[in-house]
C-alpha cells in the first residue's frame, strides 16, 4: 500500500468513526431533557463520545491536518503565531443571520453557515436564545479594542483577555463570542454555568466549533478561560479536540504561547 493510499485509508477510517460518534451523541442527547453539568472543554460528557482516532492512525492523521496557513480552517493564531500578513482580511466574509449586539456579525462563509445551524439547534433543543457579542474584527477594530482594554485594565491584565492587532482569532473570521440572551453573564466566567454555556461546551463541536480557550490552559493558549469564545475548525478536527486534546496547540504539538515574544 503506498503512503498516499495509507493516508487515504486512515482518513476514511477516522471519518467513519466520527460519523459513528455523532450518531451516538445524537441518540444520547435526545434521551436527556437537560445537559449534564460536567466540566467544560476537555471533558468527554458522560463518556458518550468515543475516541475518534484509531490506534496507529494518530501520527498520520495529524500529519494530514497540520495547520496550513492563514486561510486554513485549522490555522493556529496565538501570542507566538501572528496572522500572516498581520492585516489579513478574509476574502469570504458574509453576514451571520443571528441575534447580535454591537456591530453586525460577519464570519467566513462556511463558519457563518455552521453557526447559524448551531443557533437554530440550540433554540430547538432548549427553547432558549443566544446572541453574537462579537465575530470578525478587522486589524483596526482589534487595535481599538486592545487600546480600550489596556487603558482600563493595564497592559498585563488586558493581554490575558484581548489580543494585540494581528494576533487575534477574531481577525481570522472563524471565531465568535456568544452571549446568553437576557443574562448579565456576557464575557464573564459565569457564562459557563448558563444554559447557553453548558450547551456550547457539549455541542459546539457538532457544528465544527471548539471552546478555544478551555479552563486551566492559559499557560498553553495564552488566554484565561473563555467559555463564550468558539472557533470554527471543521467537524472532524472539532470532534478530536473536544474529546481528547483540549486546545489546538496540544493537538498540533505546538509550543505553548503564554505571552508575546519581546
Binding site for Zn ion (CB under 5 A): 177, 229
Name the residue nearer to Zn ion (CB basis): 229 or 240: 229
Cβ distance to Zn ion smaller for residue 229 or 242: 229
Rounded Cα–Cα distance for residues 192 and 149 (Å): 22
- Nearest approach in angstroms of CB 160 to Zn ion is 13
Name the 3-class secondary structure at 4.
Answer: helix
Bond preceding residue 46 cis, omega within 30 of 0: no
What are the residues whose beta carbons fall under 8 Å from the beta carbon of 109, sequence distance 6 or more?
Answer: 92, 93, 94
Contact 186, 192 (CB under 8 A): no
Backbone torsion region of residue 53, taken as left when φ is above 0, otherwise alpha when ψ lies between -120 and 50, otherwise beta: beta
Minimum separation from the CB atom of position 198 to Zn ion (A): 18
CB of 175 to Zn ion, least distance (A): 6
Residue nearest to Zn ion (CB): 229
| 61 vs 230 by CB, closer to Zn ion | 230
Residue 52, C-alpha cell as written in the block: 475518534
Q: Least Å distance between CB 172 and Zn ion?
A: 11
CA–CA separation, 138 and 222 (whole Å) = 21
Please, which residue, 42 or 134, has the CB nearer to Zn ion? Answer: 134
Amino acid at each position: 500500500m503506498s503512503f498516499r493510499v495509507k493516508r487515504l485509508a486512515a482518513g476514511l477510517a477516522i471519518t467513519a468513526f466520527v460519523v459513528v460518534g455523532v450518531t451516538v451523541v445524537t441518540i444520547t442527547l435526545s434521551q436527556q431533557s437537560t445537559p449534564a453539568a460536567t466540566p467544560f472543554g476537555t471533558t468527554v460528557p458522560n463518556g458518550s463520545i468515543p475516541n475518534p482516532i484509531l490506534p496507529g492512525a494518530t501520527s498520520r492523521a495529524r500529519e494530514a491536518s497540520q495547520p496550513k496557513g492563514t486561510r486554513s480552517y485549522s490555522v493556529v493564531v496565538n501570542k507566538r503565531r501572528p496572522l500572516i500578513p498581520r492585516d489579513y482580511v478574509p476574502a469570504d466574509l458574509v453576514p451571520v443571520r443571528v441575534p447580535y449586539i454591537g456591530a453586525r456579525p460577519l464570519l467566513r462563509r462556511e463558519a457563518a453557515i455552521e453557526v447559524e445551524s448551531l443557533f437554530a439547534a440550540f433554540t430547538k433543543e432548549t427553547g432558549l436564545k443566544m446572541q453574537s457579542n462579537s465575530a470578525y474584527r478587522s486589524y483596526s477594530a482589534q487595535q481599538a479594542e486592545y487600546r480600550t482594554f489596556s487603558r482600563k485594565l493595564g497592559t498585563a491584565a488586558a493581554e490575558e483577555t484581548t489580543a494585540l492587532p494581528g494576533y487575534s482569532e477574531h481577525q481570522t473570521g472563524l471565531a465568535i463570542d456568544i452571549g446568553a440572551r437576557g443574562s448579565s453573564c456576557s464575557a464573564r466566567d459565569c457564562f459557563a454555568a448558563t444554559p447557553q454555556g453548558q450547551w456550547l461546551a457539549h455541542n459546539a463541536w457538532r457544528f465544527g466549533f471548539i471552546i478555544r480557550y478551555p479552563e486551566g490552559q492559559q499557560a498553553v493558549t495564552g488566554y484565561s478561560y473563555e467559555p463564550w469564545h468558539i472557533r470554527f475548525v471543521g467537524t472532524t478536527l472539532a470532534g478530536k479536540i473536544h474529546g481528547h486534546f483540549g486546545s489546538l496547540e496540544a493537538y498540533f504539538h505546538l509550543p505553548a504561547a503564554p505571552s508575546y515574544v519581546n
